[in-house]
Structure 1
């Protein structure tokens, strides 16, 4: 098996997703225009994106020893993602979500059952995957688990998905800090974007990349290099998982830029990730319409 270049630690879920014309009122039944059963979770979906873009990837997550956990594992493995770092917790239930996507409002509502806590202190395979990776990307459930290992496994570059609140988050030793604009404003009090990104750099991040929905994405490195990207046109069905796809594509783009497969360095990687995330919105779920590397390059050329 190919050694994973990118490891994604955090949440892996089983999702049920329905597309409706509008949200139902209380005690009302509406007919779905489409329904999908699949996989989700910030870390897991990011791993699928990176793998599809040609970067050997692994997922580290805690699931239950139940049928939902088996399906989460099988779906990731079918994408080629290394699942040897999944931790099955005896007696626990795998995280599951019910997602309603409204076509009229172009918004979504999510009901989630939280899965077991991720503890890597005795997970030898997960530790091995982390130590051998070029990048380790964490979400709100993966950050503390990976942080607890940093003294023992200091090597990989650390990327943080900060779209969801992470209690006690510290940015020292962070190679890439990737919040939504809303999350960045919560952390720094709603100052202007440039000032907020500079404050994250001052806290210890080597680079900051901020997603801002349909307005695109923006980046700043500690050396002062900036990046900005506007989403391409696409037939958007749902934005579910787009941020997670963005993060997986950003890691893939940075690795491709390092190896010469992608031009433009840091800015090229931000544009690459923005394009991948936008194209993924052509599907109802967060994974089905993620493009591969060749399709992404063609879209960038257009």
Structure 2
């Protein structure tokens, strides 16, 4: 067994082929000005973000049994533990092709016909020694692990981007911290206004519902049932790839450090804002001091009641 990890997670690991073009995506076409390959994945990038912010992080999803697997090596190089991850031959990463427009917006095409989730016999000690569990949409491959984590009292922070029907509904119901893209949450609930989406997702079992909406900022509902909006930071955008994953990981870091929910959202939003200044999902993931500096800067956004 590895040392106890503050933040654990399972979900997507990916290898990304990234194409930067000289026009916005809405233009329909553009000239490629740069190509790059990088490692990504929702939970994997969130855990790397948590590690850069000073937390102990551990990936507990399926990994290839090859000790020299480059995806595993990339996680370890970022300080993410993998000792508790189940292993099997032929566990390939998701392969993604990402097109990034001149305005930093991106489109992701992916092939996820790979083994995802985690082992059904994951030891309880892995869950009970952690401070939070991060999951993404691929938790639908191992919902029992999420339900067990909640039964053991572990906070579960969910970042879903698509629905796989009843299993997704059950996972969303079980998770106490929903950190969801506004676009997905709006489609899932059938509501349009942020305040209505927040209320539709709320239940008394929740600690927080957070909606991330890019340059429009973030929305929060917690136990006081007063929906709030946090405007975005004013930053220069190079590439938005991984910004949501960074938000997810930074939120977990603030949570396990005992910050209140509002401060968790502020910390996560500042980290995500810094992350869009570099190319790919991990290049510009910030350190804790950089996040604190941005939060303390003059004119930093503050919550407003919706």
Which TM class, normalised by the smaller chain length? Answer: 0.7 to 0.9
Does the 8 Å CA contact 1:19/1:284 hold for their aligned counterparts? no
- 1:37 counterpart residue number: 37
The 3 A distance-change label for structure 1 pair 172 and 56 is: same
Deviation by residue 1:158-197 (Cα, 9 ceiling, x = unmatched): 1111223243222444220111111111121124222221
Cα distance, 1:117 vs structure 2: 3.1
3-state SS of paired residue (1:202)? coil
Cα distance, 1:44 vs structure 2: 0.3
Structure 2 unmatched ranges of 5 or more: 298-306
Cα distance, 1:143 vs structure 2: 4.5
Residue of 146, 152, 155 corresponding to 2:153: 155
3-state SS of paired residue (2:33)? coil
Does the 8 Å CA contact 1:59/1:85 hold for their aligned counterparts? yes
- 2:247 counterpart residue number: 246
- 1:89 counterpart residue number: 88
3-state SS of paired residue (1:142)? helix
- 1:110 counterpart residue number: 108
Equivalent residues, number: 288
RMSD: 2.6
What is the CA–CA distance in structure 1 between the aligned matches of 2:262 and 2:86, rounded to whole Å?
36
What is the CA–CA distance in structure 1 between the aligned matches of 2:272 and 2:146, rounded to whole Å?
30
- 2:277 counterpart residue number: 282
Does the 8 Å CA contact 1:7/1:58 hold for their aligned counterparts? yes
Q: Which runs of 4+ in 1 moved over 6 A?
A: none
Structure 1 unmatched ranges of 5 or more: none
Deviation by residue 1:103-158 (Cα, 9 ceiling, x = unmatched): 1x53323232212132421344xx54223111111101125514346347623111
- 2:129 counterpart residue number: 132
3-state SS of paired residue (1:32)? strand
Question: Is the counterpart of residue 298 in structure 1 residue 293 in structure 2?
Answer: yes
- 2:20 counterpart residue number: 19
- 2:197 counterpart residue number: 196
Does the 8 Å CA contact 1:89/1:116 hold for their aligned counterparts? no
Cα distance, 1:63 vs structure 2: 3.7
Alignment of 1:45-84 (within 5 A): 45-64=45-64, 70-84=69-83
What is the CA–CA distance in structure 2 between the aligned matches of 1:193 and 1:204, rounded to whole Å?
20
Cα distance, 1:282 vs structure 2: 0.6
The 3 A distance-change label for structure 1 pair 52 and 2 is: farther
Moved more, 41-50 or 166-175: 166-175
Alignment of 1:157-172 (within 5 A): 157-168=155-166, 169-170=169-170, 171-172=172-173
